[in-house]
Amino acid sequence: MSSAVQVVEKSRPVVVRRRAEVAPTRKVDVSRVLRAVALLAWRIFKPTFAIGLLVAIWEAAPRFGLVDEVFLPPFSTVAQAFVDLVETGQMWEHVSTSLTRSATGFSLALAVAIPVGVAIAWYRPVADFLNPILELFRNTAALALLPVFILILGIGETSKIALVVYASFFPILLNTITGVRTVDPLLIKSAVSLGFSPIRLFQKVILPAAVPSIFTGVRMAAASSILVLIAAEMVGARAGLGYLITAAQQNFQIPNMYAGIIAISLLGLSFNGLLVALERRLSRWRAEPSR
């Protein structure tokens, strides 16, 4: 009986020691969680504070007479005009029209520019043949060709979509060429030595490695597609955000004009956020080795 008691007494310090060893680990985990929460809160607070400051200045400047209230209404007036346009359905009509045109042209440019960029970067004869033509057109501004598109394709939807395709094509193309040409040669040699076919080589090595550069071009093209389309809608259209802004300015509905500008900003932010999320998903493999 006494021997059993001695065994129990000897084992007690071990339990205490193990608990003492576990306790600091739990504290470290809690501190990490707190730091992560604080970092997340700071990341959310910074842009919120900047936007809030801009809105406050916008609201105060006309009311204190720093700018003419007729030409720059307070933010609350513009916000009310935005809400009124949403409630009447006009905002959705213009946003959906612009979004359809922009998405159609952007998708066509994406479908053409990436294969052409890969072909130019990978095959020297294709690059030698197409480079002179591409150099000629990529230095010509899209809006400079707007009258040409209207003359050839008419003032309807086709000319606007074609203009978006033209504006979106070159950022995607050039960044695809850069991304494919800067792939680590060691990765390519390793894949070839493992017996990868050309198709599998593109699928498993070249395209994944070129994704960051390609998405840089895609995000630039997304911004260009919206901006160029808005300018085209200001010239000849009966619907769209560009038409909304021009019509409001001509009819001296200044709050509606600023509401259209805010809608363009929100549309651009949404488009960019979607592309950033997609890029992170496709580039997730880059973070795996560091885990």
The tens digit of pLDDT for each residue in 226-269 reads: 888 888 888 777 888 888 888 888 888 899 999 999 988 888 88
Q: At what angle do helices 146-153 and 207-235 cross, to 10 degrees?
A: 80
| Degrees, nearest 5: CA angle 55-57-62 | 110
- Tens-digit pLDDT profile for residues 60-97: 888 888 888 888 888 888 899 999 989 888 888 888 88
Q: What is the pLDDT of residues 144-167, one digit of tens each?
A: 888 888 888 877 788 888 888 998
pLDDT of residue 5: 46
pLDDT of residue 108: 92
Please state the rounded mean pLDDT for residues 180-206. Answer: 78
Rounded distance between C-alpha atoms, residue 235 and residue 41, angstroms: 44
The whole-number pLDDT of residue 287 equals 52
Task: For Cα atoms 83, 89, 87, give the angle at the middle one, nearest 5 degrees.
Answer: 35
Tokens (6 digits) for 135: 């150099």
